[in-house]
A = this chain, B = another copy of it.
Amino acid sequence: MPRQSIILTLDRIGSPVGEVLVATDGEGAVRALDFHDYEERLRRLLRRHYGPVELVQGRAPEAVRTAVEAYFGGDLAAFDGVVVKTGGTVFQQAVWAALRAIPAGETRSYGQLAAAIGSPKAVRAVGLANGSNPVGVIVPCHRVIGANGTLTGYAGGLERKRWLLAHEAGGRLI
């Protein structure tokens, strides 16, 4: 069911774990964020939620660029003011909202997250929703780990998940 395609700006920002792709809309809200080697995935997720998407290379709003650089530089609260906007089902929206409520430096298990949104048994569903989060890092899906402490999975690669958690732990062991 084709509707006219939505147009987003795609910017690239350097980071210690590789270049980061950021897609922002006309109002400066972040619609997607992923690592450079997963550009295909980023496009797919956008298409899934919005239909045909046109990504034009360009510069994200300074506020967004600054926040990304600050975060990777160590300012873990840098994303607090950044506006993200997503499509997705009601369930997914709930999961992603719950993710943003996890403070940097802490983690939750998939079960805890499921309980937090009122569906304590929808544990695997939370995993799925997590995995189809279009806005990586800012919506911190990397802060969700297995009940027994293993990292389980991460769309950007477990290496990066480990790095992000260590970065947020600020030297403390995780």
The 8 A CB mask of A35-54 against B (1 = contact, 0 = none) is 00000000000001111000
Copies of this chain present in the complex amount to 2
Q: Which residues of B contact A3 (CB under 8 A)?
A: 3, 6, 50-51, 87
Q: Is A2 an interface residue (CB 8 A)?
A: yes
Chain A contact residues, majority secondary structure: loop
Q: Is A101 an interface residue (CB 8 A)?
A: no
On chain A, the number of residues with a Cβ less than 8 Å from chain B's Cβ atoms is: 9
Q: Which residues of A contact B (CB under 8 A)?
A: 1-3, 6, 48-51, 87
Q: Are A50 and B87 in contact (CB-based, < 8 A)?
A: no
Q: Which residues of B contact A6 (CB under 8 A)?
A: 3
**Shortest distance in angstroms between A5's beta carbon and chain B's nearest beta carbon?**
10
Q: Which residues of B contact A2 (CB under 8 A)?
A: 87
**Shortest distance in angstroms between A103's beta carbon and chain B's nearest beta carbon?**
31
